[in-house]
Amino acid sequence: MKQTLSIIKVGSNLIEDEKGFYRILELFSKMPGNKIMVHGGGKKATEMSKKLGVETKMINGRRITDAESLDIAIMVYGGLVSKKMVAQLQAFGTNAIGMSGADANAIKAHKRPIKKVDFGYVGDVDMVNSYGIFKLLQSGFTPIFCALTHDGKGQLLNTNADTIAAELAIAMSDQFDTTLYYCFEKKGVLQDVEDENSVIQHIDTKAYDELLAYGIISDGMLPKMHNCFYALRNQVSKVCIGDVSMLEKGNSNFTTLTL
C-alpha cells in the first residue's frame, strides 16, 4: 500500500493576508504524513515592481516576464515569500526547506515559444525529479516550492504555481497516493459567484462538462479546473478546492474533484 502525500498550492491573496498566511501555515504543519507546499506571490511581485519603478505588463490576465520582472520574481518568490514561509513553518515544528525548480534539479522547464504573444521568461514544465523529492521527504524535510523552474542551461523561468502543483502531484503519484489541494480565498467552486455559500461539494467529469456548458465555470476558474482534471487523468487520486478551512479536521465545506 502506498504512503499518502498532500500537495497544497497557496494562492497569492492568502499570502497577502497576514491572518490567512499564519493560519494556513499552522494548519499545514498539523497535517499528518508527507506533504509539499507550492506558492506564487504575484501580488507581492507587483507591489515590489511598483516600488522599484518597473512596469508590470499583463495580457489577458497573464504576466509578461521580461528580464527585470524575472529578477523581481526571483527576489520575491524565491527570497521574500519563500523564506518567510519556511521560517514560520520551522516555528510551527515543520522542518521545511524552501525550493525553486533549480534546487536539486527538481523541476525542469523550457521557455514558452513565441506565438501570438511573447510571454518572456515564462516556463512550461518538462520534467519533475520525483526521485530527488522522494528522498527529501524520506529524510524528513518538507519541500516548499516557489513558482520558479529552470531550463538546465542556467536560466530561471517564471512558471504558473497551479501548473507546478499539478505537475508535482502527477510525478509523485508513482510513489504516493496523492491528494492535491488548491487553497485560495473562496470556499470552493461556486454555483453562484455572488453567493459565497453556494459551494458545489463534488464535481466529476460529467458534472464538469455540464458546468462548462452552462458557463458556471468561467474566467479565472477555467485554467485552475483544467489543471485539476489534468492531474486526475494522470494518476492523482483526488483534487480539492477551497479556502484555508479546507485543511481543518472535520470540515467538508469545499469542492472535491474526481474522475
Q: Containing domain of residue 31, as a range? A: 3-185
- Residue 53: which CATH number? 3.40.1160.10
Q: Tell me how far apart the alpha carbons of residues 142 and 184 are, in angstroms, rounded to a whole number.
A: 21
The pLDDT mean for the chain works out to 94
Residue 9: all three cell numbers together: 498550492
> Residue 222 — very low, low, confident or very high, per pLDDT cuts 50/70/90?
confident
Instruction: Report, as an integer, the average pLDDT of 106-113.
Output: 97
Residue 5: all three cell numbers together: 502525500
What's residue 250's pLDDT?
83
Residue 198: all three cell numbers together: 453556494
What's residue 237's pLDDT?
94
Residue 108: which of 98, 96, 100 has the closest Cα? 100
- Whole-prediction pTM value? 0.95
Q: Does 155 fall in a domain?
A: yes
Asked whether residue 251 is marked as a ligand-binding residue, the answer is no
Q: Angle of helix 82-91 relative to helix 18-30, nearest 10 degrees?
A: 50
Q: Does 164 fall in a domain?
A: yes
What's residue 218's pLDDT?
80
User: How many domains does the chain divide into?
Assistant: 1
> Residue 34 — very low, low, confident or very high, per pLDDT cuts 50/70/90?
very high
Q: Is the model's pLDDT at 138 over the cut of 80?
A: yes
What's residue 70's pLDDT?
97
Question: Interior CA angle at 168 toward 163 and 170, to 5°?
Answer: 95
Q: Tell me how far apart the alpha carbons of residues 57 and 66 are, in angstroms, rounded to a whole number.
A: 9
Asked whether residue 158 is marked as a ligand-binding residue, the answer is yes
Q: Does 239 fall in a domain?
A: no
Q: Does 224 fall in a domain?
A: no
Instruction: Report, as an integer, the average pLDDT of 63-92.
Output: 96
Distances (CA, A) of 1 to 67, 113, 134, 144: 46, 41, 16, 26
What's residue 223's pLDDT?
85
